[in-house]
Chain A
Amino acid sequence: MTPNDIIIRTENLTRHFGDVVAVQDLTLDVLAGEVFGFLGHNGAGKTTTVRLLNGILGATSGAVEVLGLNPLTDGPALRRRTGVLTETPSLDDRLTANETLTVYGRLYGVDRGRLRTRVGELLEQFDLLDRGDDLVGGFSRGMRQRLALARTLLHDPEVIFLDEPTAGLDPVGRRAVHDLITELSRSGGRTIFMCTHDLAEAQKLCGRVGVMGQGALVALGTPEELAHSLQKGVRLEIELDERPGPTLLAPQTETPAPTSFRPTLTWDEVTHIASTWLPTRASIPGLIDTLVASGARIYGVKRQEPSLEDVYFALHDRREGIPPEEAPSPETSYEWQ
């Protein structure tokens, strides 16, 4: 399998539950070895999509293909090659960790001779070896999530679907899962389809993301592409010793000349941070020079590119009809008074 192979392909995939539209006209390609982030609020259609992609739910209309198979007609053959971490761990309290993995290993057709070794390896990898013979009922939320992850990887799936993989994990557990996802993708060549609410996680791990809203794909691309598409410019935070001069602060009383742009600084009296949006990063030195010339003492400057979070909320606001935050036009030059 080469990196350009399409592993998941959907075309106008649609699923209705009565009058409720769960997924509408989803058209999407996911490539081999890619970590693809699938974002969206609760009820946006992420979990339904995972179900459609694994053939445990049929589509109302549209086409879907995973690993070259039709999930609905080739479900068993496909599910031998995919692993799914469900949103809730879906573990029975009355089985031990060892029993859970052994039973699922048999269900996934893991070779009898290899199964015992594989279960041991996974229990060790997920730090559950000393709890292998304990009932899952006594496990913490984090331990359950780790066990469910181990179950997902039992049969070395080629495509891994992770629905909120770090939900309920502590920071150490989260980091371990992040490292695992990176490892599976880079060294293992696995394709990962990750549903998440955690935007920082998606930005860190995913090569591309799709954002779902009310069942439809509202944005698709790399986190950088999506951020750029917002055209919000660069946000700057400057820590100063005291409030800057009134001409630099909002609200502006004079209307700037049409060909010029003067940034509006917003001052926070508690943190002593002045913040603003600039058209491009090239505008930064001019603002710093102006501040220095006005006698301000600068303790720190922090530049923030728009994050996936900004993209997500911008898309959310757009859907809700909330007007976007004012941002300068990148084409506008500015001058200082």
Chain B
Amino acid sequence: MNGNKLDWRAIRAVAERDLMIVRRSKNVLLPIILVPLLLLVIIPGAIGFLGSAMDVGSDIEDLERFLTMMPEPMKTQFEQYTENQTMVVFILVYTFAPMFLILPMMTASSIAAGSFAGEKERKTMEALLYTPTTDLELMTGKMLTAWIPAILVTLVGFVLYSVVVNVSAWQTMGRIFFPNAMWVVLILWLAPASAGLGLGTMVLVSSKVNTYQDAYQLGSMVVLPVILLILGQVGGVIYLNVTFVLAAGLLLWIVDATILWFAVKTFRRSEIIARL
């Protein structure tokens, strides 16, 4: 690596090359399309449509516990809802929010596993290493390959989700209730950081393993904090509000920057070629 400024033409060439390969890789592309479709369209659509017919009775204790522990401003918001409306808002606005952390993370991880470890496995890395691109340019190009689709999936998914929940729950809610301010911060601030976490972890993992599968399996461990977040929210310990999302985003960006710093140190031609 040298201290000269980055050659963005080369970075774009690396990113476009890898994106062309991703577009033609069914094992990478299918999960990126199908999982969001299931999680952001089909399941929330069904919940929205069934909202008016839902029998809240059996779950009322959980819901009441959730409402009691809620901060005051949120309590006020929920007080205006009927039981069915409360259930719809609880599920579609709060329970589903962590999906928008998992999806960008998954997308970035999956593409990065193919772009870093997968390239080693396919024995296509060596020719790239012989090009005049610097280590940093090569890594930046490959990281953009994973990060940009993750952001696109998040944004497109968010638009689709907004339409689906408002349309499907119209009968219950009788108005446009989604998104709220927390969601805007979540999508624009926390989700990109979540994609960065999946991506950075995968770059580090890929430097130690030589196959797509190994990288993906090891790198998937990064989803654990998000699962804790889901459990915390269902258990009434954590509430996703603007302040929490802003703070979580800040923490995640700091973690991302630390991982990125290590990734830059790890991504060395001489290290990669020695492992090929």
A contacts, CB < 8 Å to B: 17, 51, 54-58, 73, 75-77, 79-80, 82, 84, 86, 88-95, 99, 103-104, 106-109, 135, 148, 151
Enumerate the 10 nearest inter-chain pairs by beta-carbon distance, A residue then B residue, closest first: A90-B127, A106-B13, A94-B24, A107-B131, A79-B132, A76-B132, A84-B130, A103-B17, A80-B132, A56-B269
Indicate if B62 sits at the interface (CB-CB under 8 A): no
Interchain Cβ contacts under 8 Å between A and B, 14 examples = A55-B269, A75-B132, A76-B4, A76-B132, A79-B130, A79-B132, A80-B132, A84-B127, A89-B127, A90-B127, A93-B122, A103-B13, A104-B131, A107-B10
CA A93 to CA B25, docked complex, whole Å: 10
Indicate if B21 sits at the interface (CB-CB under 8 A): yes
B1-13 vs A: 1/0 string, CB under 8 Å?
A: 0101001011011
Choose among B21, B130, B132, B134 the residue that contacts A94 (Cβ–Cβ < 8 A).
B21
Q: Is the CB of A86 within 8 A of B127?
A: yes
B135, closest chain A residue (CB): A75
Q: Is the CB of B270 within 8 A of A56?
A: yes
CA A59 to CA B107, docked complex, whole Å: 38
**A19 → chain B closest CB, angstroms:** 14
- Name the B residues within 8 Å of A148 (CB-CB): 127
**A83 → chain B closest CB, angstroms:** 8
- Name the A residues within 8 Å of B55 (CB-CB): none
Q: Is the CB of A17 within 8 A of B13?
A: no
Q: Which of B128-159 touch A at CB < 8 Å?
A: 128-134
Choose among B16, B24, B123, B130 the residue that contacts A103 (Cβ–Cβ < 8 A).
B16
**A122 → chain B closest CB, angstroms:** 15
**B158 → chain A closest CB, angstroms:** 30
CA A92 to CA B125, docked complex, whole Å: 9
Please indicate which of the listed interface residues B4, B17, B125 has the most CB atoms of chain A within 10 Å of its own CB. B17
**A99 → chain B closest CB, angstroms:** 6
- Name the A residues within 8 Å of B130 (CB-CB): 54, 56, 79, 82, 84, 86
CA A55 to CA B1, docked complex, whole Å: 11
CA A56 to CA B125, docked complex, whole Å: 12
Choose among B2, B24, B25, B133 the residue that contacts A107 (Cβ–Cβ < 8 A).
B133
CA A111 to CA B273, docked complex, whole Å: 28
Indicate if B14 sits at the interface (CB-CB under 8 A): yes
Choose among A79, A89, A93 the residue that contacts B131 (Cβ–Cβ < 8 A).
A79
Q: Is the CB of A90 within 8 A of B123?
A: yes
- Name the B residues within 8 Å of A17 (CB-CB): 274
B234-276 vs A: 1/0 string, CB under 8 Å?
A: 0000000000000000000000000000000000011001100
**B125 → chain A closest CB, angstroms:** 7
B4, closest chain A residue (CB): A76
B contacts, CB < 8 Å to A: 2, 4, 7, 9-10, 12-14, 16-17, 20-21, 24-25, 122-134, 269-270, 273-274
Q: Is the CB of B10 within 8 A of A94?
A: no
- Name the A residues within 8 Å of B14 (CB-CB): 107
- Name the B residues within 8 Å of A107 (CB-CB): 10, 13-14, 128, 131-133
**A56 → chain B closest CB, angstroms:** 5
- Name the A residues within 8 Å of B9 (CB-CB): 106, 109
- Name the A residues within 8 Å of B16 (CB-CB): 103
- Name the A residues within 8 Å of B7 (CB-CB): 109
CA A93 to CA B21, docked complex, whole Å: 9
CA A207 to CA B131, docked complex, whole Å: 28
- Given the known A-B contacts A86-B130, A103-B13, A107-B132, are A94 and B273 also in contact in the complex, defined by CB atoms under 8 Å? no
CA A294 to CA B72, docked complex, whole Å: 122
**B116 → chain A closest CB, angstroms:** 14
A80, closest chain B residue (CB): B132
Q: Is the CB of B125 within 8 A of A90?
A: yes
- Name the A residues within 8 Å of B17 (CB-CB): 92, 95, 99, 103
- Name the B residues within 8 Å of A151 (CB-CB): 127
Q: Is the CB of A95 within 8 A of B20?
A: yes
Q: Is the CB of B270 within 8 A of A58?
A: yes
B21, closest chain A residue (CB): A94
- Name the A residues within 8 Å of B10 (CB-CB): 106-107, 109
CA A94 to CA B119, docked complex, whole Å: 12
B23, closest chain A residue (CB): A94
Please indicate which of the listed interface residues B12, B130, B270 has the most CB atoms of chain A within 10 Å of its own CB. B130
B129, closest chain A residue (CB): A56
CA A95 to CA B14, docked complex, whole Å: 13
CA A17 to CA B125, docked complex, whole Å: 20
- Name the B residues within 8 Å of A56 (CB-CB): 129-130, 269-270, 273
Choose among A54, A55, A91, A135 the residue that contacts B124 (Cβ–Cβ < 8 A).
A91
- Name the B residues within 8 Å of A91 (CB-CB): 124, 127
**A164 → chain B closest CB, angstroms:** 13
A93, closest chain B residue (CB): B122
Q: Is the CB of B132 within 8 A of A92?
A: no
**A133 → chain B closest CB, angstroms:** 13
Please indicate which of the listed interface residues A51, A54, A89, A107 has the most CB atoms of chain B within 10 Å of its own CB. A107
- Name the A residues within 8 Å of B128 (CB-CB): 90, 107
- Name the B residues within 8 Å of A82 (CB-CB): 130
CA A253 to CA B197, docked complex, whole Å: 84
- Name the B residues within 8 Å of A104 (CB-CB): 127, 131
CA A109 to CA B12, docked complex, whole Å: 12
- Name the B residues within 8 Å of A51 (CB-CB): 273
CA A54 to CA B129, docked complex, whole Å: 10
- Given the known A-B contacts A86-B126, A86-B127, A109-B132, are A94 and B20 also in contact in the complex, defined by CB atoms under 8 Å? yes
